[in-house]
Structure 1
Amino acid sequence: MKKLLILILFFGLITSCKQQNNFNPRDINFDRDVCFVCLMGLTDQRYNAQAINEFGEVHWYDDIGCLAEEMRDSANWNQWKGNKVQFWIGDASKENTISNWIDAKTAYYDYGKHTPMGYGYSAYYEKPKTDSVYTFEQVLKRINKGFTMRESFIKEKMLMMKENPEKLKMLEKKLENERSKIK
């Protein structure tokens, strides 16, 4: 009887220690959080995204395009995400506040606005009144095929860097990389 009681207490202790996964969106700390891909500081929550894996780890992105870039490296991405991942993205129709999150998989997306890294896709909780509306999966596919505003974004940066040859070369490589994605 004593052994049975100890066994029941042992299993009760083990099951009570099981941690519940928290997939709720996290608030941005604008002084500290940076994009996992490009390492830029997060500044405009209307376009920022986050991915939370089954272990509670968060990867931040300053643009949905950076999320698509990380997901493209499928071996590392699949190892990091584990069995489940939750995506959150800022609602572009709201103000730049730290708790402006919507489920990225159910959001509506449009194309053509200036975004932090120039991919051009904005997310909305409510369907925008525009001719072209995309799903999360469609946006990821379009980014991977090179349907972005990155080329003009990089060219604009190149004009600003014409006095700095090192940075200009780096931007030229990025531009070449973006052009190679177009299929």
Structure 2
Amino acid sequence: MKKLLPFLIISVFVSIIVTVFLSLASQNKMIVTIKNNTKKLPIKMQINKYQDSDCGMLIDNMEYISQVISPSAQTWFFHDHGGFVKWLEDKEFKDEAIIWVMSKDTKQWVDARDAFYSLIDKTPMGYGFGAYEKKAFGYVNFDTMRLRMLRGETLNNPHIRKQLLGNK
């Protein structure tokens, strides 16, 4: 029984978290996805109305938001660019998806594949990838950002964090 106790405690904790997220979603009528975005343009978002499609958290900050639109015109929302990379990886339409990211420098929606990415921004999930329309020293392109995310080379990795930020 003692060996099962930690498993039971973790299971109860996870169940409580899932229940809280589901109840918040139903109470606030949070938007998880939008269908029929036939123009395939970014949808105007409001704080605390959309749910991140990767982690399920409420999107309460518009600084690092992104949207993925499938060929069938369905749109998903994310509050950290690393999240859409992880979420999109196993989707059949990953190469055909239209991806919009909010640019930190111009405050405009930018095609994710044309954006440049900082590796050291303080993002909601801690991945560190801030999107920018204009290239600056140290920024990487979409393919490099995607590869770093999939390899786990984010600020959540203590070795990468130390490499990029030193002892901060």
TM-score range, shorter-chain basis? 0.5 to 0.7
Q: Is 1:31 paired with 2:31?
A: no
- Aligned partners of 1:104, 1:60: CA distance in 2, in Å? 13
Structure 2 vs 1, CA of residues 139 and 64 (structure 1 numbering), >3 Å: closer, same or farther?
A: same
The aligned amino acid for 1:85 is A
Q: Deviations over 1:53-77 (max 9, x none)?
A: 12221111110111111123x2xx1
CA RMSD of aligned residues (A): 2.1
**Which structure features the higher share of helix residues?**
1
Structure 1 unaligned segments of length 5 or more: list them: 1-18, 153-183
Contact 1:68–1:143, Cα closer than 8 Å, also in 2: yes
Of 84, 97, 116, 1:85 maps to: 97
The aligned amino acid for 1:112 is I
Contact 1:46–1:93, Cα closer than 8 Å, also in 2: no
Structure 2 vs 1, CA of residues 103 and 45 (structure 1 numbering), >3 Å: closer, same or farther?
A: same
- Aligned partners of 2:44, 2:150: CA distance in 1, in Å? 28
What is the DSSP-based 3-state SS (H/G/I as helix, E as strand, rest coil) of the residue aligned with 2:69?
strand
- Aligned partners of 1:82, 1:43: CA distance in 2, in Å? 26
Structure 2 unaligned segments of length 5 or more: list them: 1-35, 159-168
Structure 1 vs Structure 2: percent identity of aligned residues?
A: 22
Structure 2 vs 1, CA of residues 135 and 83 (structure 1 numbering), >3 Å: closer, same or farther?
A: closer
Structure 1 counterpart of 2:64: 47
Contact 1:25–1:101, Cα closer than 8 Å, also in 2: yes
Q: Deviations over 1:73-110 (max 9, x none)?
A: x2xx11xx388311000111245xxxx31111101111
TM-score, normalised to structure 2's length? Answer: 0.66
- Aligned partners of 2:37, 2:101: CA distance in 1, in Å? 23
- State how many pairs are aligned: 123
